[in-house]
Structure 1
Amino acid sequence: MDAGRLLGWLVLSALAPGAAHLRAGRRRTGLVLLGCYAVGLLGVLAVVLATGDLGALIGSALDDTWLTAITVGSALLGVAWFALIVHSFVVLRPGTLRQSEQIVTGTLAGLLAVGVLAPFAVVAQTGWASRQALNSIFKDSQPDPQAQGEKLTERRQDPWAGRERVNILLLGGDADDHRPGVRTDSMNVASVDVKTGNTVLISLPRNLEEVRFRPGTPMAEQFPSGFRLPTDPGGGRSDLLNSVWEYSDAHPEIFGGKREQGAEVLMDTIGYTLGLDVDWYALVNMWGFARLIDAIGGVTLTVERDVVFGKYNEGLVKAGTRKLKGADAMWYARSRTNSDDYIRMRRQRCVIGALLDQADPATVLSRFNQVAAATKELIQTDIPRAMLSDLVPLALKVKDAKVTSIQLVPPLIQTYDPDWAKIRKLTQKAVRESTGAQPVTTTAAPAPAKTSTGAPTSTPTGTPTKSPKKADDSPTQGLTDGCGQL
């Protein structure tokens, strides 16, 4: 056999294990290798077909046991395939070639063995990184094994326990090394239809005053007339909606000495405010979010007008359409200079919409290590680890479903004197529209911002409806309505 044919059989053996052994006359070994290979392919195909769809397959693969199996299995398969190439080269008897040909074929065989090993190494490393990231973010308690088995059976029958929607509180926090406590400056509830993935994003202003707490709770007993504290020495207020988490954490005596009650209190308070049952929360560190944007290679946005930022207005995100790095995207979303909280909320919605559109699975997978590293630093949540196998398929549905939004801000809702009944009414209507019970309409964005001199500035608006809307109509918008209008 000449060098060309030897290399040809070696490559064929990499694709169909056992081919080189059959060529070398080792029939039994060759058939066993080919048989194992065929059984393995059929097994993978059976799993894919049994799972039913890509989302369910990915969700199942995120189970801790499966991730461990994928990591270990990929490493073992990689070593086995490497050994297979080496052994296939040996059985093809390269010693019959001239010395120069032996050197060339041996070098190429070594490169082929390493090349075959590389994909398995990538899969194993990705599986390990996934497991580490997920286990650092999602915490599960150690339940009773019998109870866990009963819950698993119920989840297989109906993972949502009869619920038509899942409500997740999405929070943007501003905590850092120089600021103690957690201030939730961005608060949105994503209400997701579990069948269709249709989602409405309900945005609440950070400066909502005299927040009411659910009757019978410790905070309601402490503040029976609403969340109200004396004005800060500097004239600011620490009794707005964005301070509920921080205040609850700072006063364990209200909860009988229990500490770290902030997340639970804020979830319950926002759920009570909207008339929804909030299932879980996810707190995103805003600057960790910037690292996530960098991890996926940036996000393309249309900046409507120059956005100034910084203590001395030294920073600038210029107007125009281009791919922004994480820091610029966050300043676009967070800057209050020559703006206000409501314009900032709209810009945050635009960033979320752009990420939802641009962070496709292929992009995430191609930059998985960077995404996993950024994610570990950025998210705090109470979503159970076991729910990921159901939430991932739902998230993929959301990407291709109808995503709308409603902002409970002036002039619709006055933050200094909120109409709580109206908030619940608007929320329920937005949820019905998202479900599909009523057509979705859009309206103008919030009231104009004011500059430092008090003069109003023009603000981008959503797509107007064809007919006038009543004051109590739901101002539901598409998630990116009003974004990118220069």
Structure 2
Amino acid sequence: MGAVRLLGWLVLSALAPGAAHLRAGWRKTGLVLIGCYAAVLLGLLAVALATDNLVGSLAGSVVDDTWLMTITIGSALLGVAWFALMVHSFVVLRPGALRQAEQIVTGTLAGLLAVAVLAPFAVATQYGWTARQTLNGIFREEPPEPQAQGEKPPERPRDPWAGRERVNILLLGGDADDHRPGVRTDSMNVASVDVRTGNTVLISLPRNLEEVRFRPGTPMAERFPDGFRLPTDPGGGRSDLLNSVWEYSDAHPEIFGGKRNQGPKVLMDTIGYTLGLDVDWYALVNMWGFARLIDAIGGVTLTVERDVVFGRYNEGLVKAGTRKLKGADAMWYARSRTNSDDYTRMRRQRCVIGALLDQADPATVLARFTKVAGATKELIQTDIPRAMLTNLVPLALKVQDAEVTSIQFVPPLITTWNPDWDKIRNLTQKAIRESTSARPVAASATPSPTKSPKKKDQGKTTETGQDPAKGLTDGCGKV
């Protein structure tokens, strides 16, 4: 056998294990290898044909801790086995019968081919390990409920949403600072997701909402029966706005019978009561960690309507125009208060979120997986249970292709210093009803061309003459 034919059989063996063994006369070994390989391929095909919404199911499975460990270990073992198979395939093809120069060339190329075969498994092993470490660092396992002796643990329900039509997740942007204690939640949005369609309403509440009401019967309602009100700060500012609820609750454990770290729970319940929703979980994002995430995906393309000035001495500038922004510039665009107000900032933050939904597609995330994982681990604090990820990831894929609308409770829709609580709840329910009526979509690995279409008919206008429910990116890029 010549050198070219030997290499040809070796390449074929990389694609169909056992081919080189059959050619070399190792009939039983070759048939076993090809048979096992064919059985695995047929098994994967059968699973794909039998599984509805394959992409969503796979995405949900691969974030399961057991599956991630299996993928990590399995990829490592399979990579080593395939590498060894390539080496053995080269040996059984008897390269010693070639001339010395041909032996050197074929041996070198065979080694490179073996390494090339090993590389995808090494990448899969690294991704699996990184993903598992990242997810286990962010999401916590719920402690199992105590069982009576001899009692079987409850089975996981077939319906992960327990009959619920919507999942409500509180998305918070934390503005932590070394010069002040506690957590200030300067960005507060509730993502209300229809579990059937993926259609989502993003509900934004302003940081400076005053006279916040607490759910009757709770410790905070007993402390502030007429609304959240504190004396003015020495500098003339206020520490009794909505964005201070978390910080105040953490700083006063005596209100909760000595229990500490009640801020997240209190804020979730307070915002849920304000909107007339049951908030399931929260996710707190460090705003400057968010900049790292944007850098990890290679930046985000935004249209800056007009120059945005930032910095203590107005020394920074994000110039107007459409271009790809790095994380720091994207965050200053979203957060700068210079020559601006809180409501303009809320709109700009919504534009950044919308741009990320459009541009952080699975292909981009996979290509930059290690950087994304590293940024995410330092970015998020959440109470979402680890086990729920297998259900939330397929739902997130639905959201990417579904209709995302938003409603912002800012003037003139409401007055932040004297909010109409009934109006807030009624408009929230109206926006959710209209979102629910849209048709469902299937989860897809490829984002749709338009993520946030504007509704053609939003019904009657509100008392302000505006329809508050809009597409997520409506108004972005406009002066």
Same fold (TM over 0.5): yes
Alpha-carbon distance in structure 2 between the residues aligned to 1:222 and 1:161: 34
The equivalent of 1:277 in structure 2 is: 278
Unpaired segments ≥5 residues, structure 2: 440-453
Deviation at 1:45, TM superposition (A): 2.6
Structure 1, residues 179-203: CA drift from partner, whole Å, max 9, x if none? 3211000000000111001101000
Aligned to 1:287: 288
Q: Which runs of 5+ in 1 are unaligned?
A: 439-461
CA deviation string 1:344-400 (max 9, x = no partner):
000000000010011111111111111000000000111111111111111111111
* AA partner of residue 434 (structure 1): S
- Which residue type is aligned with residue 153 of structure 1? R
Q: Deviations over 1:36-94 (max 9, x none)?
A: 11122223333333442201211111100000000000000000000000000000000
2:474 to 475, 481, 484: 481
1:446 corresponds in structure 2 to: none
- Counterpart contact for 1:48–1:57, Cα < 8 Å: no
- Superposed, 1:320-399 pairs within 5 Å as 320-399=321-400
User: For the residues of structure 2 that align with 1:152 and 1:197, how far apart are their CA atoms?
Assistant: 26
Q: Deviations over 1:207-243 (max 9, x none)?
A: 0001000000000011111101111111100000000
Alignment of 1:21-420 (within 5 A): 21-52=21-52, 53-144=54-145, 152-154=155-157, 156=158, 158-420=159-421
One-letter code aligned to 1:359: A
Kindly indicate whether the alpha-carbon contact (under 8 Å) linking 2:198 and 2:398 is maintained by their aligned counterparts in 1.
yes
Q: CA deviation at 1:11?
A: 0.4
Q: Does 1:469 align with 2:461?
A: yes
Offset of residue 146 of structure 1 = 6.3
One-letter code aligned to 2:322: T
Segment of structure 1 superposing worse, 245-254 or 174-183: 174-183
Identity %: 82
- Residues 144, 226 of structure 1: alpha-carbon distance in 2 compared, 3 angstrom cutoff: closer
Q: Deviations over 1:427-478 (max 9, x none)?
A: 111111111289xxxxxxxxxxxxxxxxxxxxxxx99989983416751110
Distance in 2 separating the partners of 1:57 and 1:466: 36
The one-letter amino acid paired with 1:166 is V
How big is the alpha-carbon RMSD for the aligned residues of Structure 1 and Structure 2? 2.0
* Conserved? CA contact 2:365–2:372, under 8 Å: yes
Q: TM-score, normalization: structure 2?
A: 0.93
Paired with 1:215 and 1:295, the residues of 2 have a C-alpha distance of: 44
In 1, are the aligned partners of 2:171 and 2:284 still within 8 Å (CA)? yes
Distance 1:469 1:422 in 2: 13
CA distance in 2, matches of 1:179, 1:114: 53
Q: 1:387 to 1:463 in 2, by over 3 A?
A: closer
Q: Is the 8 A contact 2:335 2:349 kept in 1?
A: yes
SS across alignment from 1:202? strand
Hey, what does 1:5 align to over in structure 2?
5
Give the aligned residue type for 1:428. Q
Please tell me the residue identity of whatever aligns with 1:58: A
Bigger mean CA offset, 39-48 vs 234-243: 39-48
Once the two structures are TM-superposed, the CA of residue 140 in structure 1 deviates from its matched residue by 1.1
Q: How many residues are matched?
A: 461
Paired residue type of 1:167: N
Give me the TM-score of the superposition, normalised by structure 1: 0.92
Q: Is the 8 A contact 1:426 1:474 kept in 2?
A: no
1:201 is matched by which residue type in structure 2? L
Deviations 1:91-113 (A, max 9, x none): 00000000000000000000000
Once the 2 structures are TM-superposed, how far is the Cα of residue 485 of structure 1 from its aligned partner? 1.5
**What amino acid sits opposite 2:352 in the alignment?**
V
Distance (whole Å) between structure 1 residues aligned to residue 236 and residue 152 of structure 2: 55
Deviations 1:385-434 (A, max 9, x none): 11111111111111111100000011111010111111111111111111
* Counterpart residue type for residue 469 of structure 2: T
Q: Is the contact made by 1:463 and 1:482 (CA closer than 8 Å) also made in structure 2?
A: no
CA apart distance, 1:151: 5.1
Which of 188-197 and 38-47 deviates more?
38-47
Amino acid at match of 2:461: K
Q: Distance in 2 between matches of 1:470 and 1:146?
A: 52
SS in 2 for 1:231: coil
Asked if 1 retains the 8 angstrom alpha-carbon contact of 2:142 and 2:386, the reply is no
CA distance in 2, matches of 1:235, 1:151: 55
Return the alpha-carbon distance in structure 2 between the equivalents of residues 431 and 145 of structure 1. 37
Aligned twin of 1:429: 430
Distance 1:74 1:164, change over 3 A: same
SS in 1 for 2:33: helix
**1:144 offset after TM fit, Å?**
3.9
Deviates more, 1:237-246 or 1:133-142: 133-142
Distance 1:9 1:437 in 2: 55
Q: Output the CA distance in 1 between the equivalents of 2:456 and 2:192.
A: 24
SS of alignment partner, residue 69 of structure 1: helix
